[in-house]
Amino acid sequence: MDYRLFFCQTTKIKIDSNDFIYWLISTFFTNIPPYAILNTSVELAKHKKLNHAAKYINGLLRNVQRSIKFIQEKQHHSTILPCELGAWQFSSPLFPSPDTKFSQYLSIVYSYPEYLVETWQQEFGENMCEQLLQNGNCIAPVYLRDRNSSLPDILHNLNIKYIKYNNLFQLDTASDIQKLPKFEQGKWAVTGIASTKVIEALELTPNISVLDVCAAPGGKTLQIIDKIQGQGKVIAMDISKNRLESLQFLKQTYPPETFDIKIHDGTKSIPEWNQTFDRVLVDAPCSNSGVFSKRTEARWRFSPQNLTSLGNIQSALLHAMAPTVKIGGILLYSTCSIEKKENDKQIQTFLQNNSNFQFEEKQIQLPLAPSFDGGSYCKLRRISE
């Protein structure tokens, strides 16, 4: 769980980055034995050459240990900190009273910006808002996608347990997946349920042309080229050359007429590509509000200003890339956000200004158990010039 804000406010210690203090306070609220956390935290402080802080850290954590007790029932109270399996009750009030301003209370105990809490309360209601806040503090499971039917054997040989979900494998443990055999050869890939649903919505078949806008780091591009079985044309486009490096191995596998990479700012139109592609995927940069369990730091960028800035980019991407879709082709807009400002409202504005496209389908997936993977997509079809 992310307790940076809680730790700062209760100890008055300033934390500028994800350093060891963030680690020790977040691990305290797990099933790790207290003695192990105390000892490891002190030793880690010494390892970081913070010997002057080691005694303070030891005293602080021992004081925390003495002043709390675990309770099964989650309650809203200024002395109670909810956690995944119940709650921790402190001997004295540490949090704002939930009766005074509930959004502020939730903001502190779950460690989110208050603006985000208020937004979700208004959009989803108080109960679902709290569920989403809690889920964003959970460790999301890892899903792998098999690319050549060898993954089950690999996992079995390494005695790694998994749950099969369609063509995905949910690992039972968060092991170092990069060390699994055949990672470097690209024989399997990390993905998520929400992104897989986006690819399914593209209605991919062999011998079609696909433009993947904002493609880096390439997870969806890889799914696309697998879906069309290497038959057709796929272009992965992104403004960042460095972030597209992960797809260079595909250029060694497929000829240029089948797969290519283009470094380009997707908010700028490409007139020579007008009506070139059967499918265009605009996987737009967003607030990441559907994947806070994977990108903890993204919550601290959630603000009216940032949403406005992202909205301008999202709108520009849609309008610049829409002309590249063939008549009868699909323009699919997706984000890993669950905000209406970044999804529904973007599409409403786009359709008001582009009568040559019609709405076909949309889906929002809230980041709930068991996957904690959220996002949204909207499918549009071009019907005329």
- Report d(CA 166, CA 54) in Å as an integer: 49
Half-sphere exposure of 25 (CA within 13 A, CB side): 21
- Residue 190's DSSP bridge partners are 144
Question: Would you put residue 149 in left (φ > 0), alpha (ψ -120 to 50) or beta?
Answer: left
Distances (CA, A) of 15 to 6, 9, 28, 127, 294: 11, 11, 17, 31, 21
For 186-209, letters b (16+ CB in 10 Å) and e give ebbbbbbbbbbebbebbebeeebb
Residue 116 C-beta-side C-alpha neighbours within 13 Å? 26
The active-site residue out of 129, 214, 286, 336 is 336
Please confirm, yes or no, whether 336 is among the known catalytic residues: yes
For residue 335, the number of C-alpha atoms closer than 13 Å in the C-beta half-sphere is 28
Contact 115, 141 (CB under 8 A): no
For 280, the 3-state DSSP assignment is strand
DSSP code, position 287: -
What's 275's DSSP letter?
A: T
Positions marked catalytic: 336
